[in-house]
Amino acid sequence: INRLMMAYTGTTLRHYVINCRINEAKRLLMTSEASMSEVAEKSGFKSAYYFSRCFKEKTGFSPGEFRAARKNMV
């Protein structure tokens, strides 16, 4: 499956799933007041720590920084 994913999307299945979860987390951070643990769980991460680490790696912001920046923009 990974070879097919890489051929068609340029990414592995694992990275594709993480990107989908990060996008869902962004949506939740922008539209709800859920805690970071709730956002992590609702977006499919089993650990709030791992969620925060992945989020920072992919976006350059911690989940809290992302939420605060979005609030300041509105």
pLDDT at 33: 93
pLDDT at 47: 96
pLDDT at 74: 60
Measured distance CA(69)–CA(60) in Å, rounded: 12
What's the pTM value of the predicted model, to 2 decimals?
Answer: 0.88
Q: In 1-74, which ranges are E strands? A: none
pLDDT at 57: 96
| Range 49-54, long-range pairs (CB < 8 A, 24+ positions) | 51/25, 54/18, 54/21, 54/22
The separation between the first and the last C-alpha atoms of the chain, rounded to the nearest angstrom, is 41
Q: From the first residue on, what is the mean pLDDT of each consecutive set of 10 residues in the chain (74 residues)?
A: 88 93 97 96 96 97 94 72
